[in-house]
Amino acid sequence: MTDTANTQYPILLVHGLFGFDRIGPFNYFNGIKEALQRAGASVFIASLSAAHSNETRGEQLLVQIARILQQTGARRVNLIGHSQGALTARYAAAVAPESVASVTSVSGPNHGSELADRLRLAFIPGKLPEKVAASLTTAFGTLITIISGKPQLPQHALQALNALTSEGVAAFNLKYPQGLPNTWGGMGAAKVNGVFYYSWSGIIKGSLLSESMNLLDPMHNACRLLATFFTTEYKENDGLVGRFSSHLGTVIQSDYPMDHLDTINHLAGLTRHKANPVELYVKHAQRLKKQGL
């Protein structure tokens, strides 16, 4: 164990849609918490509704932030959110900036997801296919909560989907614009209301045969298929989120050779040899420490 990443404030990892802390031997942030702890960081993982709106999840996150501050005696926390977790973290920082030292978006749909747009168009509001899909996905979110052994939290799949569309995120951004770029593909303000903002993400590159161990990862193959549904950021996305849509605050890099799940070290670490997602989190914690966070 070292102290290279012993940040001044605790790190709170925030999961995305259908996320969890741990289910049996499986962690959402696979090996990331442990690596951060070995580097000296104090790390917690949020427990939020697996499927719900950004605001609902954000309110849940605020409760957990308050609990961590009371438990540790710290004044603030560093939030690192993956996917929808980035929007959840942004909400908490906008509402309670005095309790948040930094927000880091990892593969966050900060301008919406084209895939969510496609799914929203596929389900006509009020019609049977939408109702069936909503019931099934809401039930799935409930199942994740049950088998993860966490307290029951409300689930609402349609609100989650609407919260991730370009339209839904645009409405969210009007209320909580902190850290957003003024120009498409640019960087946002590095610091707003005393909160530092960062982001990183990946894109799917090359052919399937160039994937190294990812060739054996069924989730990567699914991401590669989903990537073909993008139009605005075609060939510039990770299967669920576009490269420039992910930009927030100081953009560390948005074209790492990783799909949407590689950035949380899934499945079983079958990631490309050119990028190590766990190292990215440790290096970022070292960055936060250097910044005095």
247 is known as an active-site residue:
no
C-alpha to C-alpha distance for 157 and 163, rounded to whole angstroms: 10
Measured in whole angstroms, how far is the alpha carbon of residue 23 from the centre of its chain? 18
* End-to-end Cα spacing for the chain: 20
Instruction: Return the number of other C-beta atoms located less than 10 Å from residue 279's C-beta.
Output: 10
| 230-234: long-range pairs with CB below 8 Å, 24+ | 230/114, 230/115, 231/114, 232/114, 233/114
Q: Is 255 a catalytic residue?
A: no
Output the DSSP codes for 59-121. HHHHHHHHHHHHHH--S-EEEEEETHHHHHHHHHHHH-GGGEEEEEEES--TT--HHHHHHHH
Q: Which of 117, 217, 238, 262 is catalytic?
A: 238
Q: Which residues in 14-43 are b (16+ Cβ under 10 Å) and which e?
A: bbbbbbbbeeeeebbbbebbebbeebbbbb
Q: Is 259 a catalytic site residue?
A: no
Which of the following is catalytic: 83, 102, 105, 148? Answer: 83
Give me the catalytic one of 111, 220, 247, 260.
260
Give the Cα separation of 141 and 168 in Å (integer): 20
Active-site residues: which are they? 83, 238, 260
